[in-house]
């Protein structure tokens, strides 16, 4: 059996995927918080994935690391950018997709893809928490709800609240003010989804948007954001089953392919 692993060490979560190189079956797929030690989180999530797949580290033929913390994974055979891994992962899951929007913990990125799955244009926001998962986490805390419930709550809104600022600090103050005057948490949650959608639409201005469009990353699990984007862009968002592990899957697939082709094009 030939096995390959992809480890994506993001700013908020570390992900690991193990694939069987023979038939690209996913044997393990895991997510855990990165915390303050990316190297440790990467090693831990890989160890847990090995347990889930009931294999040993020595059974892995190749490990590819990606994500902002990829340099910290000492165990990696190769390192690859998130853009390349995102392209590889999404093309495998949804080959018809031509634009992928990845909204993570502290950044959001957009890539376009050609028919062969090669990345074309890309746009990145890693300067500001607005339009990222961090923004939603701060707001969920202020609303006293779990991040996993924010999307569901937002779908029950009758009139989405209007935020005048997309800045996390100002928007949090605005949110507190809205609660004080009796605005419903549902309407506030929908307003927050709208803020994310607006920020993504701004970023989309930097690429040639081509449908079909996929939404991935941890925030793709937030149905409210997905619906807000669909309304704003007037097109459906395709969300794969496990949107948070798409880049880790792409890294594992890259590992497998380069092993099979006996070549290595990634950065190291």
Residues that bind ligand ADP (CB under 6 A): 10-13, 104-106, 133-134, 136-137, 147-148, 151, 217-219, 221-222, 244
Q: Tell me which residue of 255, 265, 245 sits closest to 93, measured CA to CA.
A: 245
Distance CA 41, CA 31 (A): 10
Q: Which CB atom, from 154 or from 258, has the smaller least distance to ligand ADP?
A: 154
Burial annotation 114-152 (CB, 10 A radius, 16+ → b, else e): eeeeebeebbebeebbbbbbbbbbbbbebbeeebeebbe
As measured in angstroms, the least distance from the Cβ of 213 to ligand ADP is 17
Q: Which CB atom, from 55 or from 129, has the smaller least distance to ligand ADP?
A: 129
Q: Which CB atom, from 135 or from 254, has the smaller least distance to ligand ADP?
A: 135
As measured in angstroms, the least distance from the Cβ of 167 to ligand ADP is 17
Longest dimension (CA), the chain: 64
Q: Which CB atom, from 213 or from 215, has the smaller least distance to ligand ADP?
A: 215
Q: How deeply is 262 buried, as exposed, middle or buried, from its count of CB atoms within 10 A (0-12, 13-18, 19+)?
A: exposed
Distance CA 43, CA 73 (A): 7
Distance CA 46, CA 36 (A): 17
Q: Which CB atom, from 112 or from 221, has the smaller least distance to ligand ADP?
A: 221
Q: Which CB atom, from 187 or from 242, has the smaller least distance to ligand ADP?
A: 242
As measured in angstroms, the least distance from the Cβ of 178 to ligand ADP is 20
As measured in angstroms, the least distance from the Cβ of 105 to ligand ADP is 3
Question: How do strand 78-79 and strand 213-216 relate by DSSP bridges?
Answer: unpaired
As measured in angstroms, the least distance from the Cβ of 58 to ligand ADP is 28
As measured in angstroms, the least distance from the Cβ of 59 to ligand ADP is 26
Q: Which CB atom, from 147 or from 202, has the smaller least distance to ligand ADP?
A: 147
**Cβ-based neighbours of 170, under 8 Å, separated by 6 or more:** none
CA 248 → CA 6, 10, 188, distances in Å? 5, 10, 33
As measured in angstroms, the least distance from the Cβ of 31 to ligand ADP is 7
């Amino acid at each position: 059996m030939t096995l390959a692993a992809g480890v994506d060490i993001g700013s908020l979560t570390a992900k690991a995927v193990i694939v069987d190189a023979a038939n690209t079956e996913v044997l393990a797929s895991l997510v855990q918080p990165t915390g303050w030690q990316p190297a440790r989180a990467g090693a831990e999530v890989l160890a847990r994935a090995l347990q889930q797949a009931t294999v040993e580290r020595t059974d892995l033929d190749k490990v590819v690391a990606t994500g902002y913390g990829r340099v910290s994974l000492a165990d990696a055979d190769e390192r690859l950018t998130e853009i390349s891994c995102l392209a590889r992962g999404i093309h495998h899951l949804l080959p018809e997709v031509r634009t992928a929007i990845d909204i993570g913990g502290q950044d959001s990125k957009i890539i376009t893809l050609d028919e062969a799955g090669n990345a074309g244009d890309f746009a990145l926001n890693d300067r500001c928490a607005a339009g990222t998962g961090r923004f939603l986490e701060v707001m969920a805390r202020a609303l006293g709800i779990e991040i996993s419930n924010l999307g569901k709550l937002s779908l029950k809104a009758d009139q989405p609240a209007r935020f005048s600022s997309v800045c996390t600090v100002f928007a949090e103050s605005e949110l507190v003010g809205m609660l004080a005057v009796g605005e419903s948490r549902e309407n506030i949650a929908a307003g927050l989804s709208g803020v994310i959608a607006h920020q993504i639409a701004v970023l989309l201005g930097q690429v040639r948007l081509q449908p079909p469009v996929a939404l991935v990353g941890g925030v793709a699990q937030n149905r409210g954001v997905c619906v807000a984007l669909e309304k704003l862009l007037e097109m459906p968002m395709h969300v794969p089953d496990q949107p948070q592990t798409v880049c880790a899957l792409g890294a594992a697939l890259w590992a497998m392919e380069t092993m099979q082709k006996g070549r290595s094009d990634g950065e190291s």
